[in-house]
Amino acid sequence: MEEEEPSEFWKQLWISRYESVDKIIFGRRSYEGHAEVHAVSKRKPADPEHLYDYSHFLERCKLIVFSNTLQKAPWGNSRIVKGDLKELVEKIRKEPGKDIIVEGGPAIAHDFIKSGLADEYRILVMPVIYGMGPHYWGVMERQETLKLIGVKTMPQGELLLHYRSAR
Q: For residues 8 and 103, which CB has a smaller minimum distance to ligand NAP in the complex?
A: 103
Residues of this chain, 53-72, that bind ligand NAP according to CB under 6 A = 66-70
With CB under 6 A as the contact rule, the residue among 103, 117, 162, 165 that binds ligand NAP is 103
What's 36's DSSP letter?
Answer: H
* Minimum distance of ligand NAP from residue 103's CB (angstroms): 5
- Where would I find the H helices in the chain? 8-13, 28-38, 49-60, 85-94, 106-114
Nearest to 25 by CA among 154, 134, 117: 117
Q: By rule CB under 6 A, what string of x and - marks binding of each residue 81-100 to ligand NAP?
A: -x--x---------------
Q: By rule CB under 6 A, what string of x and - marks binding of each residue 124-163 to ligand NAP?
A: ----------x-----------------------------
Q: Is 30 in the site for ligand NAP (CB under 6 A)?
A: yes
Nearest to 53 by CA among 20, 11, 99: 11
Nearest to 83 by CA among 97, 96, 65: 65
